[in-house]
Amino acid sequence: MADIRSIIAIGQSGQLGLNGRLPWEGNQGREYKADVARFFDITRGHVLIAGPTTIGAVPDWAYRDRTIFEIRSHMDPEEVLAKFENRIVYVGGGPPVWDVYAPYIQHWDINRLPYDGEADRWFNPEWVVQTK
């Protein structure tokens, strides 16, 4: 069985997204830059599965040192995760992805950033207590 994890950043009120992007995207503050660097450091050598929007935001250089797999809504999560048996798999994306994969995630790494602005996607605390 794969070790299923998620590493995400949220704003002060649980903000996750705005218009299909991170609400703080492009912010050059120290905390934001450190969060991105930490994400790529932690996922290095492991598997990252995510929907097409998140995969589309992964820079080309990141494909060299991690396995990146695009998931779609028609895919069965158990079949997807079975492809990566005995690996650490990070589930990335947004609410539609976590609505499906949350019951499989064994470890949530949540970083709260100092962002306290607008959003149209929010973190759902119920994700962390769902189990399969």
User: What pLDDT is recorded for position 38?
Assistant: 97
User: What pLDDT is recorded for position 76?
Assistant: 98
Number of compact structural domains in the chain? 1
Answer for the pair 6, 92: CB distance below 8 angstroms, yes or no: yes
From first to last of its 132 residues, what are the pLDDT tens digits of the chain?
789 999 999 999 999 999 989 999 999 999 999 999 999 999 999 999 999 999 999 999 999 999 999 999 999 999 999 999 999 999 998 999 999 999 999 999 999 999 999 999 999 999 999 887
**DSSP three-state, residue 131:** coil
User: What pLDDT is recorded for position 56?
Assistant: 93
Model confidence, pTM? 0.94
Distances (CA, A) of 111 to 30, 32, 81, 103: 14, 10, 24, 20
User: What pLDDT is recorded for position 131?
Assistant: 86
User: What pLDDT is recorded for position 132?
Assistant: 77
29: Cα separation from own chain's centroid = 21
97 contacts: CB under 8 Å, gap ≥ 6: 50, 51, 54, 71, 91
First-to-last alpha carbon distance for the chain, in angstroms, is 13
Q: Which structural domain, as residue segments, surrounds residue 90?
A: 3-129
Strands (E), 18-82: 47-50, 67-70
CATH code of the domain containing 58: 3.40.430.10
User: What pLDDT is recorded for position 61?
Assistant: 97
Answer for the pair 66, 47: CB distance below 8 angstroms, yes or no: yes
